[in-house]
Amino acid sequence: MEFSVTDIAALLNGEIEGDKEVKVNNVSKIEEGKKGTLAFLANPKYENFIYETRASVILVNKSFIPQKKINATLIKVDDAYKAFAKLLDYYAQAKNLIKTGIEQPSYLDETASVGKNIYLGAFAYVGKNVVVGNNVKIYPQVYIGENVEIGDDCILYSGCKIYADTKIGNRCIVHSGTVIGSDGFGFAPLEDGSYKKIEQIGNVILEDDVEIGSNTSIDCGTMGSTIIRKGAKLDNLIQIAHNCDIGENTVIAGQVGIAGSAKIGKNCKFGGQVGINGHIIIEDNVQVGAQSGISKNVKGNQIILGSPAVEVKHALKMYTIFRNLPKLRDEIVQLQKEIKELKKQKQ
C-alpha cells in the first residue's frame, strides 16, 4: 500500500517540511532507512542518523531543530513516538480491512451466528452455537469450539485454538499458536501413588481490548472463570493457570508463569520469566523485575525484585552484598589465619 505525505500529515495532525508530493509504501528504522519508507526520530541519541538516512519521510517532534541539512521530508508532530505508533496501528488496520469473506475449505456450523464484514480463512473451524461479532478476522486454521462468543473488531491469527465456552470481548487480538480455555492442571493424588484427573468445567473470559501474544496458554477455570480484564496485554510464551484474575491494563512479558487462582491487580507490569505462586493477591500498580519469584501477597504501588521478590531498594542492597561475598570470604579467611597466629604466640 502507498501513502502520500499529505495524507499521513493529515492523519497525525502534523506539519510538513519538504517535498509535499513524496509517497511511501513501508516503514523503517531511521538508521536503516530506504527510499520510499517512513521513519521516526524520538530519541535524541539517534539524531545523527537523520542527516544520513535514505528514508523519504521522517516523523519528528515539533521542538526538533536540525543542525545540518536533511534530505528527507519531515512531518512535525507533538510526539513522534506516539504518532509513529498511531500510524502503525492505522497501517495494520488497513491491511486487515482487505481481508473479507469466507474462504473454502472452512467449516462454519449452521447454528453459528456471524456478524458483518467477517473474514474466515481457509481450514478454520467454527463450532456449534458460536457467536461472532462484526468486522472479525479469523485467519486460516483457527479452531473455535462450541458456545464461544467473540465481540466486534477482533483478530484471531492463524492456528490459535479457542476452547468451548470462552467469552472474548471487543477489539481483542489473539496471536498464532495461543490456546485459550484448555484444562487447568488439576489432579488428585490416590493411595496407590497415581493421580485422578479433576475435571475442569469453567471457562475463560477476555474483556475488551485484550491482546494475547503467540504460543501463550490460558487455562479455563476448574469452576467459574479465568479472567483477563480490560486492556491487559500478554506477551508470547506465557502460562496463565486456572481461575487466575488478571487486572485491567496489566502488562506481562514473555515466559511468565502464574499459578492457579492468583489475583493480579490493575496497571501492574511484569518482566520476563517472573514466577507467581498460586492463591496469592498482587495489588494494583506493582512492578516486578525480570526473573523474580513471588510466593506471597504483595501490597500495591511498589517495585519488587528478586527471588523471593522484595522491595527494590532492599533487593539492590542484597545484590550488593552478594557481589562482595568473594571479597568478604577472603577477608574472613585472612582473619582466621591471623587469629591462629595470635593463639600460637600466646601459647
Consecutive H or E run containing 26: strand 26-27
Closest to 59 in 3D by CA, of 1, 9, 127, 24: 9
What distance in Å separates the CA atoms of residue 291 and residue 305, rounded to the nearest whole number?
A: 8
What distance in Å separates the CA atoms of residue 188 and residue 100, rounded to the nearest whole number?
A: 47
The answer to whether 42 and 80 have CB atoms below 8 angstroms apart is yes
Consecutive H or E run containing 246: strand 245-246
What distance in Å separates the CA atoms of residue 172 and residue 256, rounded to the nearest whole number?
A: 20
Q: From the candidates 175, 242, 279, 314, which is the catalytic residue?
A: 242
The answer to whether residue 242 is catalytic is yes
Closest to 267 in 3D by CA, of 254, 281, 251, 256: 251
Report the 10 Å Cβ neighbour count for 39: 27
What distance in Å separates the CA atoms of residue 81 and residue 84, rounded to the nearest whole number?
A: 5
Residues annotated catalytic, as ranges: 242
